[in-house]
Amino acid sequence: MILKRLALACAFVLSMTILSGTAWADNIPIANASFETLGNPLSVTCGTGCAYNYGSIPGWSLTGGGGGGNWQPGSFFTSVPNGTLIGFVNATGSISQTLTGDSVLANSVYTLSVFVGDRTDGDSGNYTLSLDTIIGGVKTTLCSFTNNASTIGSGMFQVEGCTYTSPSSAPSGNLFLQLSANTGQLDVDNVSLSVQSATSSVPEPSSVLLLSVGMLFLVATLMVRREKELQLAA
């Protein structure tokens, strides 16, 4: 009975050790993250399986430049990361979204990820992806990534983005996403934003293994000792 209780206690301690060191992580909701919801019908055709619209993208704001909208790209891309539609904006415009109610948490790591595409006809250009905060109309950039879509590969999409680690005194305001076309056209899909603790850490697998082996060795030693005691008493 004692050994059974000891074994259960060892298992409990091991479980608590693993769980207490596990870093929490969460995905922050983004409206129409894959641009599958239309604001207007895809009324402009551009070839077989290709159509687009100009105007509003539900959940997002379009500002500046030569406009943007939803796009079913057909042969302009070899595949679409998620669904059948993507979002596009022409230079020098931006697609942006305020994550109302989501502000920066202290001591946290934020990762912005965006699938960016390079059109087969070479019309994609230089772009900037940024994670910001906005309060009272004032925008503060937390992190940003600038590149040219030509580095991705013709007809392909690639995950791009940036990471921000917040201090103990977190910036105020709602989180704000901004995807900007600096030259040419920016084509994007499957936008995501994750956050996790900057202070928690997951135990190294080797540490967990050593702890497990040590506890099992202790239980085995006590079981052998108990067996010998029973034999001597017989």
The residues spanned by each domain of the chain are: 2-21+202-233, 25-197
Amino acid at 106: A
CATH code given to domain 25-197: 2.60.120.260
Work out the mean pLDDT of the chain and round it to a whole number. Answer: 85
pLDDT in the model for residue 25: 84
On the question of pLDDT at 106 being above 80, the answer is: yes
pLDDT in the model for residue 17: 44
Check: CB of residue 111 under 8 Å from CB of residue 160: no
**pTM score, two decimals?**
0.78
On the question of pLDDT at 34 being above 80, the answer is: yes
On the question of pLDDT at 208 being above 60, the answer is: no
Mean pLDDT of 180-202: 91
| Range with the poorest average pLDDT among 34-43, 112-121, 197-206, 215-224 | 215-224
Mean pLDDT of 176-196: 98
